């Protein structure tokens, strides 16, 4: 076994059906007495209905949106100041949890995350923000939520399409965690378990959205995959998705779903050990093709074109992908990356 360094992330989790009922306890656990509830406009009604009666919640900000624009964070900070909130409750997916992280970075307010998707952001000290059309990421312990409530009931109403793309987004975290520069045996074990759990659960959810066992398995898998994302570095897949999402304003989970099989195929020749793990987890000799097929099984978009990316953006994205050097197990070659992006744009199968 090779030498490695392991640095675990602090995690306090309430997991189970109905665990939203412990929100008052969760707020007190992180030291809060005046919590601001955060959500997207679409989830505002649900968030308020499920937290009605929680005396510690003293206000609501429902302006969270994709890619965490800095101007939205600035607006939310004014609500923080006006309400004198001393705690944040983020109800929703990556957009809302991202907003809470952005606020925490600037204020040090403790966070209670209540995820309703499988994005896994709640388990990471990573924040992605968008300003002037460019998305940047940072890593800081200040943005890691102090407590997470995983209530399976909150995912039962998650639309099938969003369930699939959100779950494959989570799988992407673990796939890259397998071959990260700073990976270790603990993270590889969590990654394999998370990938297997989600790959088994997502097609069942696509067929029967209210399957509690499958939903529980998917939420558990998302927790594991999010932990991997928060504990080790990422590579080509995540860098490329951030470039595409920030530059062309593409939906986050859908972009990850489209790009993942292609990014894995690109790196496959350089990561034989990780490919062996993925063969077992996905029960398929060609993991990149298996992930492409999984996308079709959950009725996810197959192409960046479907997500709104213009064809003339392929070259722009390829240029940006090699603009800033970052670690990847295979060297980043502009022409090969352009081919990867072009195949993803067209919805073709990944290159073997």
From 107, 133, 155, give the residue that closes a domain: 155
Residue 227 belongs to a domain: yes
What average pLDDT does range 191-217 have in this prediction? 97
Q: In whole angstroms, how far apart are CA 98 and each of 174, 193, 349?
A: 19, 25, 31
pLDDT in tens, 130-162: 988 788 889 899 999 999 999 999 999 999 999
Q: Are 197 and 137 members of one domain?
A: no
What average pLDDT does range 219-244 have in this prediction? 94
Query: Residue 122 in 3-state DSSP?
Result: helix
| Edge-to-edge strands, sheet with 111-115 | 13-15, 147-150, 111-115, 87-92, 35-38, 57-61
Q: What pLDDT sits at residue 2?
A: 74
The residues with which 49 forms a beta bridge, in sequence order, are: none
Q: How confident is the model at residue 4 (pLDDT cuts 50, 70, 90)?
A: confident
Q: Are 174 and 247 members of one domain?
A: yes
pLDDT in tens, 310-321: 999 999 999 999
What average pLDDT does range 1-24 have in this prediction? 87
Q: How confident is the model at residue 250 (pLDDT cuts 50, 70, 90)?
A: very high
User: For residues 304 and 246, which has the higher predicted lDDT (pLDDT)?
Assistant: 304
Residue 100 belongs to a domain: yes
- CATH code for position 71: 3.40.50.1970
Q: What pLDDT sits at residue 269?
A: 97
**Distance, C-alpha 233 to centroid of its chain:** 14
What average pLDDT does range 212-225 have in this prediction? 97
From 155, 183, 201, give the residue that closes a domain: 155
Q: How confident is the model at residue 36 (pLDDT cuts 50, 70, 90)?
A: very high
Residue 4 belongs to a domain: no
Residues belonging to the chain: 352
The number of distinct structural domains making up the chain is 2
- How far apart (Å, rounded) are the C-alpha atoms in residues 76 and 145? 17
Residue 5 belongs to a domain: no
Q: How confident is the model at residue 224 (pLDDT cuts 50, 70, 90)?
A: very high
Q: What pLDDT sits at residue 290?
A: 98
CA-closest candidate to residue 237, choices 326, 149, 161: 326
Q: What pLDDT sits at residue 15?
A: 96
Cβ 298 vs Cβ 158: under 8 Å: no
Q: Are 188 and 224 members of one domain?
A: yes
Query: Residue 36 in 3-state DSSP?
Result: strand
Q: In whole angstroms, how far apart are CA 286 and each of 157, 259, 277, 278, 291?
A: 33, 16, 11, 9, 9
Please state, rounded to an integer, the average pLDDT across all residues of the chain. 95
Q: Are 61 and 122 members of one domain?
A: yes
Q: Is the pLDDT of residue 8 over 80?
A: no
Cβ 95 vs Cβ 253: under 8 Å: no
From 155, 184, 209, give the residue that closes a domain: 155
Q: Are 99 and 248 members of one domain?
A: no
Residue 3 belongs to a domain: no
DSSP 10: P
Q: Give the domain range for residue 256.
A: 160-346
What average pLDDT does range 201-227 have in this prediction? 97
What average pLDDT does range 85-110 have in this prediction? 97
User: For residues 26 and 121, which has the higher predicted lDDT (pLDDT)?
Assistant: 26
The residues with which 244 forms a beta bridge, in sequence order, are: none
Three-state SS for 269-289 is HHCHHHHHHHHHHHCCCCHHH
- Lowest mean pLDDT, pick from 101-110, 175-184, 204-213, 324-333: 324-333
Q: Are 100 and 244 members of one domain?
A: no
- How far apart (Å, rounded) are the C-alpha atoms in residues 62 and 23? 18
Q: Are 341 and 237 members of one domain?
A: yes
- CATH code for position 177: 1.20.1090.10
Q: Are 19 and 149 members of one domain?
A: yes
Q: Are 129 and 182 members of one domain?
A: no
**Distance, C-alpha 244 to centroid of its chain:** 15
| Residue 67 φ then ψ, to 5° | 65, 10
| Residue 328 φ then ψ, to 5° | -155, 145
Q: Are 94 and 177 members of one domain?
A: no
pLDDT in tens, 277-334: 999 999 999 999 999 999 999 999 999 999 999 999 999 999 999 987 789 999 999 9
User: For residues 84 and 9, which has the higher predicted lDDT (pLDDT)?
Assistant: 84
Q: Are 230 and 259 members of one domain?
A: yes
Residue 326 belongs to a domain: yes
Residue 7 belongs to a domain: no
Q: What pLDDT sits at residue 9?
A: 76
Q: Is the pLDDT of residue 43 over 80?
A: yes
Q: Are 191 and 100 members of one domain?
A: no
């Amino acid at each position: 076994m090779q030498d490695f360094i392991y640095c675990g992330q602090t995690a306090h989790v309430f997991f189970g059906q109905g665990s939203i009922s412990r929100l008052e306890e969760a707020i007190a656990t992180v030291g809060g007495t005046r919590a601001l509830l955060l959500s997207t406009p679409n989830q505002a009604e649900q968030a308020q209905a499920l937290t009605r009666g929680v005396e510690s919640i003293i206000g609501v900000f429902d302006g969270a949106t994709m890619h965490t624009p800095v101007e939205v964070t600035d607006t939310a900070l004014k609500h923080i100041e006006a309400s004198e909130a001393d705690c944040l409750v983020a109800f929703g997916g990556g957009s809302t949890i991202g907003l809470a992280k952005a606020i925490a970075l600037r204020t040090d307010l403790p966070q209670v995350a209540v995820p309703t998707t499988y994005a896994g952001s709640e388990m990471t000290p990573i924040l992605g923000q968008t300003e002037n059309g460019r998305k940047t990421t940072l890593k800081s312990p200040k943005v890691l939520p102090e407590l997470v409530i995983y209530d399976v009931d909150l995912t039962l109403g998650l639309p099938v399409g969003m369930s699939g793309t959100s779950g494959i987004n989570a799988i992407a975290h673990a796939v890259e965690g397998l071959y990260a520069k700073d990976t270790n045996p603990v993270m590889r074990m969590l990654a394999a378990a998370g990938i297997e759990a989600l790959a088994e659960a997502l097609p069942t959810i696509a067929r029967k959205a209210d399957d509690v066992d499958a939903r529980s398995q998917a939420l558990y898998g998302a927790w594991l995959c999010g932990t991997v994302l928060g504990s080790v570095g990422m590579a080509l897949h995540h860098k490329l998705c951030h470039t595409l999402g920030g530059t062309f304003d593409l939906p986050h989970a859908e972009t990850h779903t489209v790009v993942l099989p292609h990014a894995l195929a690109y790196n496959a020749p350089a990561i034989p050990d990780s490919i062996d793990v993925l063969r077992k987890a996905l029960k398929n000799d060609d993991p990149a093709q298996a992930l492409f097929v999984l996308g079709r099984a959950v009725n996810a978009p197959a192409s960046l074109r479907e997500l709104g990316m213009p064809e003339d953006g392929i070259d722009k994205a390829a240029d940006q992908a090699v603009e800033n050097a970052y670690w990847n197990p295979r060297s980043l070659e502009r022409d090969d990356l352009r081919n990867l992006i072009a195949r993803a744009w067209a919805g073709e199968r990944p290159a073997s």
